[in-house]
């Protein structure tokens, strides 16, 4: 592979690479606002100006002030090039930290801040703002403009999800390019000139496509904020765990941002994975973090409706054990979940076969949503493939379970998860059974028809694996601890199996994973880039 030198380091590049892309791949940061690895090159912010000290170097005639002569005298200075636009050349030498490049970066930084409001204390981007970062790294000087800054529209609702602050905008056009290039919807554009420029929404429109939150995600400053996240958390308090979106079978890689002081998840952000989601997520996927805290079931209980009675985990497991023992194992229907990890599903399938001795295995899943040709998959379940692999090829749907209950073949149910394409009404025949055990993190149709409810960890509270529609097994890690004594479903099932005299020899998640791999979890996705 050909190489060029950036700040003395040999950096390989692919034909057609720009200096910026080669540096990015190699882990060298060249300051930038408008460049984004997933978007076209706009080259309008000029923050990435670098000096080419060999090959294509060119000197420009300038006038420089001479103190001794007390006048301007002719001089030269090297022409600087935008690293995001200039393609690499073999043996090219580039300086991003020399006096000329740093002077230009500081000048651009000062220029961008001339009219910028100093509202960092109330800005949601504070702590992850490129203007703040580069001011420290490349500017670090006081503002020389003392006149009133240019004022522009603030707090403009671009649509249901995004608010725009024109005074904070650096006109990088990333948001416009996300709409144009990712979504194919030219709903944003720029108007006016110079320091009057602003981004605006096409007349008669709202910013309301399915990827609006990606405009906020790419905005390098606090000009676009998410109505969902704004004013909720300061980012320096947040920590992050690698996750996988539960919105659909695409399995977009995520950063799960949580506050460890409150064990609360505040948002998801896309985690780059070139094989799955590249740099992006859809809006519905970004909002799935809410499931962690909404309609959460925290207390084990027995009974239905008004008669529901709260118990401890130990008590509820003993009740589940006694009730299940009253049924012939082969007549117990076991419901896996396309929303739970492969590990949970695998242990539940083992529980069905090895402890209960039943082959009546079903899969509960959502019924699908509108996909698209960008990311969204028509199957709105994150792990149908993993549940199928655990169940074996002959797994049936909840509709089949209802038929088997009505036909008298199934007289008790153990169900994982809360999602179901059927509502609680359609699950009515199951609600009439004497024993329905629900292992669930949230309320939903399945727990509502159960008379033994055992809370288990949500996806944010445990590590696990989802297999996406490409057959890629993607691991996610625990972000927050589960409340109280709640444990992952697989661990709860191991304990229940022990009470029932069965043997499920899974002491740790790694034991389940070892057992899981041959059953079709698929290849593990390459480590995602940060
Ligand atoms: S709103 Fe943000 S992303 Fe859009 S042009 Fe302004 S600074 Fe760039
Ligand atoms: S496309 Fe699917 S997996 Fe990706 S963010 Fe959207 S819902 Fe989540
Ligand atoms: S990043 Fe190169 S000009 Fe903006």
All domains of the chain, ordered by start, with CATH? 3-113 (3.10.20.740), 156-292 (3.30.70.20), 301-519 (3.40.50.740)
Q: What residue ranges in 79-165 does DSSP mark as E strands?
A: 80-82, 93-95, 156-157, 162-164
Local confidence band at 395 (pLDDT 50, 70, 90 cut-offs): confident
Of 210, 282, 381, the one to substitute when testing ligand 2's pocket (max ligand atoms within 8 A of C-beta) is 282
Q: What residue ranges in 353-478 does DSSP mark as E strands?
A: 361-364, 396-397, 412-416, 435-440, 452-455, 464-467, 473-476
pLDDT at 530: 27
pLDDT tens-digit map of 493-530: 999 999 999 889 899 999 999 998 654 454 343 333 32
Task: Find the 286 Cα to ligand 2 centroid distance in Å.
Answer: 8
Of 22, 33, 130, the one to substitute when testing ligand 3's pocket (max ligand atoms within 8 A of C-beta) is 33
Task: Tell the residue number behind the tokens 């995001």, with chain if given.
Answer: 84
C-beta of residue 251 within 8 angstroms of C-beta of residue 522? no
3-state secondary structure 241-295: EEEECCCCCCCCEEEEEEECCCCEEEEEEECCECCCCECCCCHHHHHHHHHHCCC
Report which of residues 144 and 481 the model is more confident about: 481
C-beta of residue 339 within 8 angstroms of C-beta of residue 381? yes
Indicate whether residue 281 lines ligand 2 (CB < 6 A). yes
Calculate the average pLDDT of the chain: 93
3-state secondary structure 200-224: EECCCCCCCCCCCHHHHHHCCCCCE
Sheet containing 224-226: order of strands: 156-157, 162-164, 224-226
Residues 279/283/287/289 CA torsion (nearest 10 deg): -20
Indicate whether residue 45 lines ligand 3 (CB < 6 A). yes
Indicate whether residue 138 lines ligand 3 (CB < 6 A). no
State both tokens at 277. Answer: 């989601």
Cβ atoms within 10 Å, residue 175: 26
Shortest-distance Cα residue to atom 1 of ligand 2: 376
Cα(450)–Cα(138) distance, rounded to whole angstroms? 61
pLDDT at 142: 79
Task: Tell the residue number behind the tokens 């529609």, with chain if given.
Answer: 469
Shortest-distance Cα residue to atom 3 of ligand 1: 219
DSSP at 303: S
Indicate whether residue 178 lines ligand 1 (CB < 6 A). no
Query: Where is 49: in which H helix or E strand?
Result: strand 49-52
The ligand placed nearest to the CA atom of residue 268 is: 2
Nearest Cα neighbor of 521 from 487, 446, 485, 471 is 471
pLDDT at 137: 82
Maximum pairwise Cα distance, the chain? 105
Cα(440)–Cα(456) distance, rounded to whole angstroms? 5
pLDDT at 282: 98
C-beta of residue 156 within 8 angstroms of C-beta of residue 164? yes
Pairing of strands 435-440, 412-416: parallel
Average pLDDT value for residue range 313-322: 97
Pairing of strands 162-164, 49-52: unpaired
How far are the Cα atoms of 60, 107, 122, 254 from residue 233, in angstroms, in the given order?
48, 32, 11, 18
pLDDT at 419: 84
Of 276, 285, 339, 378, the one to substitute when testing ligand 2's pocket (max ligand atoms within 8 A of C-beta) is 285
Task: Find the 121 Cα to ligand 3 centroid distance in Å.
Answer: 27
How far are the Cα atoms of 289, 299, 514 from residue 343, in angstroms, in the given order?
21, 23, 10
Predicted model pTM = 0.93
The number of residues making up the chain comes to: 530
pLDDT of 27 strictly over 70: yes
The ligand placed nearest to the CA atom of residue 43 is: 3
DSSP at 509: H
Query: Taking the mean position of all CA atoms in its chain, how far away is CA 498?
Result: 37
Q: Which ligand 1 atom is nearest residue 190's CA?
A: 5
pLDDT tens-digit map of 31-42: 999 999 999 999
Tell me what percent of the residues of the chain surpass a pLDDT of 70.
Answer: 96
C-beta of residue 265 within 8 angstroms of C-beta of residue 239? no
């Amino acid at each position: 592979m050909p190489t060029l030198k950036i700040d003395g380091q040999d950096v390989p590049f692919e034909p057609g690479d720009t200096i910026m892309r080669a540096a990015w791949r190699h882990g060298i940061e060249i300051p930038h606002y408008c460049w984004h690895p997933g978007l076209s090159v706009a080259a309008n912010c000029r923050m990435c100006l670098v000096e080419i000290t060999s090959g294509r170097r060119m000197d420009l005639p300038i006038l420089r002030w001479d103190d001794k002569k007390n006048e301007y005298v002719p001089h030269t200075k090297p022409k600087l090039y935008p690293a995001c636009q200039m393609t690499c050349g073999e043996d090219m030498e580039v300086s991003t930290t020399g006096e000329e490049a740093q002077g230009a970066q500081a000048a651009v930084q000062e220029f961008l801040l001339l009219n910028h409001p100093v509202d960092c204390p109330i800005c949601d981007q504070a702590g992850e703002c490129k203007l703040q970062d580069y001011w420290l790294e490349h500017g670090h000087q006081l503002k020389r403009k003392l006149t009133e800054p240019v004022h522009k529209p603030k707090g403009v609702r671009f649509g249901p999800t995004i608010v725009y602050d024109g005074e904070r905008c650096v006109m990088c056009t990333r948001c416009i390019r996300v709409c144009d290039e990712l979504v194919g919807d030219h709903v944003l554009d720029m108007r006016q000139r110079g320091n009057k420029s602003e981004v605006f929404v096409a007349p008669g429109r709202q910013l309301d496509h399915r990827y609006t939150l990606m405009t906020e995600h790419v905005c390098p400053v606090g000009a676009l904020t998410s109505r969902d996240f704004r004013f909720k958390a300061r980012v320096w308090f947040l920590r992050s765990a690698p996750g996988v979106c539960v919105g659909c079978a695409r399995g977009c890689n995520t950063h799960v941002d949580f506050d460890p002081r409150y064990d609360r998840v505040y948002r998801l952000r896309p985690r780059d994975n070139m094989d799955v989601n590249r740099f992006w997520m859809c809006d519905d996927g970004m909002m799935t973090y809410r499931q962690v805290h909404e309609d959460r079931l925290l207390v084990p209980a027995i009974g239905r409706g008004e008669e529901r009675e709260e118990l401890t985990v130990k008590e509820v497991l003993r009740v589940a054990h006694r009730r299940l023992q009253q049924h012939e194992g082969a007549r117990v229907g076991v419901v896996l979940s396309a929303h739970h990890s492969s590990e949970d599903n695998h242990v539940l399938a083992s529980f069905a076969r090895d402890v209960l001795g039943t082959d009546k295995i079903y899969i509960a899943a959502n019924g699908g949503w509108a996909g698209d040709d960008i990311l969204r998959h028509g199957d709105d379940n994150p792990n149908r493939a993993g549940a199928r692999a655990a169940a074996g090829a002959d797994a049936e749907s909840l509709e089949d379970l209802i038929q088997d209950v009505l036909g008298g073949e199934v007289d008790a149910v153990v169900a994982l998860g809360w999602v179901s394409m059927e509502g609680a009404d359609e699950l009515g025949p199951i609600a009439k059974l004497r024993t329905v055990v629900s292992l669930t993190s949230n309320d939903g149709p399945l727990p509502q028809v159960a008379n033994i409810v055992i809370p288990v960890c949500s996806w944010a509270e445990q590590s696990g694996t989802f297999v996406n529609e490409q057959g890629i097994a993607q691991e996610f890690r625990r972000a927050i601890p589960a409340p109280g004594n709640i444990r992952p479903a697989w661990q709860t099932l191991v304990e229940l199996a022990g009470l029932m005299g069965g043997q499920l020899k899974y002491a740790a998640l790694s034991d389940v994973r070892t057992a899981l791999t041959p059953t079709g979890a698929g290849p593990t996705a390459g480590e995602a880039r940060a």
